[in-house]
Amino acid sequence: MGKSTPSALQSEKQKRNIRDVELSRPRKFFTSRDFGIVLLLSVVAFAVRVQRLMNPSKVVFEELRYVNYAVDYASNKFVMDVYPPLGKLLLSFGLTFMNSNPDLTKVSHPGQEFPSFETARSLRLIIAAFGSLLIPLMYGNVYLSSNSKMAAFMASVFAIFDNGLITMSRYVMIEIPTLFFMGLTSFFWMYYENQQKYPFALKWHISLLYTGISLGLTISTKLSGLFTLFWILVLALFHLWNLIGDLTVPITRIIRYGFNYTFYLIGVPMVVYLGIFAVHSKLAYKSNIYDSFLTPEYKYSLEGNDFGEEYADVAYGSLVTIRNAIPEHGYLHSNELVYPEGTKQQIISLVDHPNQNTLWIIEHENAADNDRKKIELLKDGSIVRLRHIMTGRALHSHDHRPLVSNHDWQLEVSGYGGFGFEGDGNDLFRIQILDRPSRHASSNGTVEAFNTYFRLIHVFTNCELMTSHRRLPDWGQDHREVTCCRNCIERSTTWVIESNFHDAMPSDARKTNYRKPSFFEKFIEANKLMWLKDRKMGDGHEFESHALTWPFLLGPLRFMSDQNLQVYFMGNPVVWYSVVSLIVFFALVMLFFAARWNMGYNDCGPKFYHHSYNIGKFALAWFIHWAPYILETDRVFLYHYLPALYFGIMALGVGWAFVGNVIFEHRPAFSFVTAAFITLMFGVYYLYSPFTFMTPLTQSSCQSLELKGSWNFRCNSYMESLSQYNSGIVNPIFYEEAAPHPFVYNGPAENSHSDVPLKENLAVYYPAWDAQVEMGYKIAAEEKAAMEAKEAASAEAASMSSDETSRSEPSD
């Protein structure tokens, strides 16, 4: 295809598809002179980014997370995060590569002095290197799309001296590596667009393959890489759309294009993404603090987990712990506390770790059937009474609304009865085995520890035992609430038995444990977790800002303030405002010409289409990397705008080439205007650099830099004159808090830790239990005798309704 194909249909094609984008622009790239320029620019960029690199040598903002991740990977510990692993893997590789004997101490809070200067410096150097590599990519992207060296040079210089890009390139966060892969993707795609003269040639395939690989790397670093994927797919579809309209291109060839695009732009990134996960799970195989949100199966596959083997079969009389199917919800628990209002019966809740208060014994419906020497297996439909072994109360539900989840479809769950008092029919639950998540070893419908997932259905009210997503207040020690729910089909009504002990079980009885999941199951679970957590990260952060304010640079983000010096994340106003003006102007021009076109004027030649395609594709990238954040209100920060800005600078470069081409027509004046523009930009960069490099500034010059009220630099924390900086007066340190880690549970600590190691000593509880039960019956019998004696004495004083007494709460 392409313009140069000599064909009789050529003129027809031109007539039909005047809007077809001229994709074939064979161009020689990277002559030695270009190479020199690019090298020079990169060196300058690197020099700019590493000056005063270890100032401050303290943990800044989210460095807290990434430094710890790198350290975890280096010591092969499991890491879970809302971002895919590549960025952290790179940091970790860099750490071990650049230090022969790295210091693997973790950091605990922002503002803390780094435990090892060298380790921190090597991590920051990696980021700075990535930050400098953005510059050649910028040059290549703009040059390939505009064929103007001047524009490419200008855009690169803008990228070098943007304070925002510099700031992010100095600290250990993964924004810049992501941005590097985005730029790489874009570069290969632009290179691919230049290969249209010889479609399906080797170079064509290779450039497309590289696009796919770098797309995969982008997505494996941060999920916002999906925006880049979307952008590239839009461009590819646009190309296909034009091909479909071009009648000179045979259908088979279009299908071939479509096939290649699918393979390279969707298939290859997926393989890369999977591959990165494989590396991740090969490297991080040791159990770590982040696993509280994992399913126990996943946890079990990590080295150093604390699951032991248990008897497979569950029978009446078994001593069990019961876990909710939602991993972070924990174990069914009770202790002596009672609900403060309403029924005032004993609280049932969930705790995160098993202890002796999470032990339950499975009893028959009728107490007479209980025989601990016999083994009768639990089946689907078995009716059970679950008795709490430490307090003797049975799991109970009744027609009262719970105190916390006070809804009409939920019922309170409590502990009822006691040693010597069996309880009533409201203690009975029916076991319903769920086929779906259950993995039976045998298919005879019995309950098996670890592998059988079941519901507990209250027999009288037909409601299902569930955990709400809420926590009990202080009176419930902040544990998770347990209620009984009518018609709930959520996962929170599903339970599984974890510890399982029966003293009549023969010692050679079948034992079992969780099944180790395959790589794909782990992959799917980790991705699900990432998505769900990413969507609801909960607590907001004080300095998050709304995406609509970003292009206009309304509020800089303060990273740190230390010893009368400050670090702000803020862009170079000239760069940021030029980008947004260009985009708004471009959109208006497009709208104007569309209206003109509809009015019947056709005054846009191929040259116009050519340029507007090239500006438009970067403007589109700007939009795609920015607009989704508008809908997001949680935990979005100013620096999330950087990818959009980076593409915006490319659009600016191409737009500048258009100005040079159309308005100045390559006259020398163009060079002067460009130089003036760059000088202005550089001057502004220099003015704002104290906020970037944490260098001294006086209060008065700080105030003069505050062009907008909303910028709000805390000028008071600077000294009044520069000479004071030598006198050693320091203000206390301020730092920005990093957001709470999404995968570390930081709720209240357990307050009922057992001294007895639970797993080894389950048998201990049986004799104690028997003694207590016996004692309970004895006391109950005595009380009953006393009662009867009393009743006989009072001789039918009143006609008590026996119903009422038996239904009321037993006194103990």
Partner 1 sequence: MKPTVTDKSGKKNQKSSKQKGSASRPSSPSPSPSSPSPSSSPTPKKAAESSSIPHVVSSSGSGPGSFFNKKLQFWKLHIPNEVVFDEVHFGKFASYYLQGKYFFDLHPPFAKLALAFVAWCAGYDGHYLFDNIGDRYKDHGVPYVSIRSWPALLSSFVPPLVFLIMKESGYELPACLVSACLVLFDNAHVTEGRLILLDATLIFSMVAAVYCYVRFFKLRHSPFSRAWWSWLFLTGICLSCTISTKYVGTFTFLSIGLSVCLELWYLWDIKTGLPIKQFASHFLARFFCLIVFPFALYLFWFFLHFKFLPTSGPGDSFMSLQFQETLDENPITANATGLNYYDIVTIKHMGTNSFLHSHPDKYPIPYDDGRISSGGQQVTGYPFEDDNNYWMVLPHNHYADPKYKPNMPVRNTDYIKLHHVGTNTDLMTHDVASPYHPTNEEFTTTSVDESAGAKHDFTVFQIMINDETAPDRKVFTKSMSFKLIHKLTNVAMWSDPKPLPDWGFKQQEINGAKNIQTGAILWMFDDIIGLPEERVNKEKRVPKKLSFFKKYLELQLVMFRQNNLLTESHPYSSTPLDWFTLHHGIAFWAKNEENKQIYLLGNPIGWWLIGGIVITTTVVASAEILLHQRGIVTLLPSVRNHFYRSIMFFYATYMFHYLPFFLMGRQLFLHHYLPAQVAGAMLCGAFIQLACMKSFHLPVSPGAKQPNDVDSHGYAKSLRRNGYIIQVLTSLGLISVLSYCFVFFAPMTYGNASLSVPEWLRRKWLDSWIFQYQK
Positions that interact with partner 1 (CB under 8 A): 109, 111-112, 241, 244-245, 247, 251, 408-409, 462, 469, 485-490, 542-543, 558, 595, 598-601, 631, 712, 716-717, 732-737
CA distance 770 to 63: 55
**Cβ proximity to partner 1, 404 vs 678, nearer residue:** 404
**Cβ proximity to partner 1, 35 vs 734, nearer residue:** 734
**Cβ proximity to partner 1, 100 vs 602, nearer residue:** 602
Q: 3-state SS of 535-548?
A: HCCCCCCCCCCCHH
Task: Please report how close the Cβ of residue 513 comes to partner 1 at its closest, in angstroms.
Answer: 30
HSE of 707 in the Cβ direction (CA atoms, 13 Å)? 12
Q: How far apart are the first and last CA of the chain?
A: 91
**Helix, strand, or coil (residue 147):** coil
Torsion angle of C-alpha atoms 473, 479, 483, 485, degrees rounded to 10: 100
**Type of residue found at 4:** S
**Cβ proximity to partner 1, 490 vs 783, nearer residue:** 490
Task: Please report how close the Cβ of residue 544 comes to partner 1 at its closest, in angstroms.
Answer: 13
CA distance 656 to 576: 15
**Cβ proximity to partner 1, 473 vs 683, nearer residue:** 473
Task: Please report how close the Cβ of residue 127 comes to partner 1 at its closest, in angstroms.
Answer: 24
**Cβ proximity to partner 1, 310 vs 464, nearer residue:** 464
**Cβ proximity to partner 1, 22 vs 478, nearer residue:** 478
Whether the Cβ atoms of residue 739 and residue 544 lie closer than 8 Å to each other: no
Closest CA to 61 of 743, 555, 566, 710: 566
Query: Which helix H or strand E contains 362, and what residues bound it?
Result: strand 360-363
Whether the Cβ atoms of residue 406 and residue 433 lie closer than 8 Å to each other: no
**Cβ proximity to partner 1, 542 vs 720, nearer residue:** 542
CA distance 73 to 285: 9
Task: Please report how close the Cβ of residue 600 comes to partner 1 at its closest, in angstroms.
Answer: 3
CA distance 317 to 363: 6
**Cβ proximity to partner 1, 84 vs 111, nearer residue:** 111
Task: Please report how close the Cβ of residue 58 comes to partner 1 at its closest, in angstroms.
Answer: 11
CA distance 287 to 277: 17
**Cβ proximity to partner 1, 263 vs 734, nearer residue:** 734
Task: Please report how close the Cβ of residue 713 comes to partner 1 at its closest, in angstroms.
Answer: 12
Task: Please report how close the Cβ of residue 397 comes to partner 1 at its closest, in angstroms.
Answer: 16
Task: Please report how close the Cβ of residue 597 comes to partner 1 at its closest, in angstroms.
Answer: 9
**Type of residue found at 493:** T
Query: Pairing state of beta strands 346-351 and 331-338?
Result: antiparallel
Task: Please report how close the Cβ of residue 484 comes to partner 1 at its closest, in angstroms.
Answer: 12
Task: Please report how close the Cβ of residue 705 comes to partner 1 at its closest, in angstroms.
Answer: 18
CA distance 108 to 334: 34
CA distance 169 to 60: 13
Whether the Cβ atoms of residue 148 and residue 659 lie closer than 8 Å to each other: no
E strands along 719-777, which residues? 734-735
